[in-house]
């Protein structure tokens, strides 16, 4: 009788195992959206390399505008992308958050604000009106309609600055900065870090006692809703990567000196092979 019971139990277990649905194998192709900002391309490229080390195939899709990129991520046309969801791209994140996931921080240190040469004797935005004549009453801006321009317009309004914001671009701002520094003139401009500009010139951010400007931001990997559950190993691979801010500054410097972004990233990876190997081990657990 006991033998019969054991046989029936064993048979039932075998049937149950046979009937149990197989665990779906993790999809090995990851569609990565890449905003065409230097530092976004760099962090994305280093993470792409890590995913490939762990056996994934990565398809990249380039984007020039946050709105288009977030729409593609929300619809599932791409799986992941790096962004600044807390401030710089907060509007796009809030509109799409219910369809997205935050995965992990891949870098930290993005900062944007008003800069001056270090020889300028003021340190705070609220001192600008007292030195309008020395600065020529102008703030050198970047691309019209950009988040940095909107932020600077808020600064002018909140501090009651009697200054004109001059529209331009990143390269225009750098050219104006270089020209002023060569002549030891006073200049106030918009700019951001990480950037080679902070290696090239002795400059400083003006303090913002009213906290009008956005605080220092993180680079965050975002994903379409459901990605983590469907791609647990890819999720761990992505989470193993962290690119420190000095590394991004260094790579942007190499690009400024004539390297392509791909060449700069390759140079950094070769110089940091041991670091990446350690990260690869973490991401493969």
Condensed to tens digits (0 to 9), the pLDDT of residues 74-126 reads: 999 999 999 999 887 888 899 999 999 999 999 998 899 999 999 999 999 99
Please enumerate, as own/partner, the contacts of 257-264 that have beta carbons within 8 Å and a separation of 24 or more.
261/38, 261/41, 261/42, 261/45, 262/45, 264/42
CA torsion through residues 208, 213, 219, 220, sign: positive
Q: What is the pLDDT of residue 15?
A: 40
245-256 vs 261-271: helix axis angle to the nearest 10? Answer: 130
Domain limits of the chain?
29-109+216-283, 111-205
State the DSSP code for 21.
P
Give the pLDDT score at 285: 64
pLDDT of residue 169: 84
Which of 126, 72, 104, 91 lies closest to 218 in space, CA to CA? 104
- Asked if CATH classification 3.40.50.880 holds for the domain at 29-109+216-283, the reply, yes or no, is no
Q: pLDDT under 70 in the chain at which residues?
A: 1-24, 283, 285
111-205: CATH topology is D-Maltodextrin-Binding Protein; domain 2 (3.40.190)
Of 126, 96, 99, nearest in space to 114 by CA? 126
Residue 215 and residue 113: Cα distance in Å, rounded? Answer: 9
DSSP three-state, residue 30? strand
Report the distance separating Cα 114 and Cα 225, nearest Å: 37
Q: Rounded to an integer, what distance in angstroms lies between the CA atom of residue 237 and that of residue 235?
A: 5
Q: Record the pTM.
A: 0.78
**Contacts for 157 with CB less than 8 Å, ≥ 6 apart:** none
Burial 76-85 (b: 16+ CB within 10 A, else e): eebbbbbbbb
pLDDT of residue 1: 43
Burial of 251 (0-12, 13-18, 19+ CB in 10 A): buried
Q: Which pLDDT value is given to residue 177?
A: 96
């Amino acid at each position: 009788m006991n033998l019969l019971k054991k046989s029936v139990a064993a048979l039932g277990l075998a049937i149950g195992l046979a009937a149990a649905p197989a665990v779906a194998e993790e999809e090995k192709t990851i569609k990565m959206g890449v905003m065409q900002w230097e530092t976004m391309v760099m962090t994305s490229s280093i993470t792409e390399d890590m995913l490939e080390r762990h056996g994934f195939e990565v398809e990249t899709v380039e984007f020039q505008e946050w709105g288009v990129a977030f729409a593609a991520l929300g619809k599932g046309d791409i799986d992941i992308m790096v962004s600044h969801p807390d401030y710089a791209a907060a509007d796009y994140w809030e509109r799409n958050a219910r369809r997205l996931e935050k995965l992990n921080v891949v870098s930290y240190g993005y900062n944007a604000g008003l800069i001056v040469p270090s020889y300028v004797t003021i340190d705070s935005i609220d001192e600008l009106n007292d030195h309008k004549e020395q600065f020529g009453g102008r703030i050198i801006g970047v691309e019209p309609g950009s988040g940095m321009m909107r932020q600077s317009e808020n600064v002018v309004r909140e501090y009651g600055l009697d200054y004109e914001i001059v529209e331009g671009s990143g390269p225009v701002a750098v050219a104006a900065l270089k020209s002023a520094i060569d002549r030891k003139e006073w200049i106030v401009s918009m700019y951001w870090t990480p950037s080679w500009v902070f290696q090239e010139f002795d400059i400083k951010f003006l303090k913002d006692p009213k906290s009008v400007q956005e605080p220092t931001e993180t680079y965050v990997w975002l994903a379409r809703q459901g990605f983590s559950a469907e791609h647990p190993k890819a999720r761990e691979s992505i989470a193993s990567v962290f690119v420190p801010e000095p590394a991004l500054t260094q790579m942007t410097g190499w690009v400024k000196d004539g390297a392509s972004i791909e060449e700069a990233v390759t140079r950094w990876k070769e110089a940091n092979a041991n670091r990446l190997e350690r990260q690869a081990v973490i991401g493969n657990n």
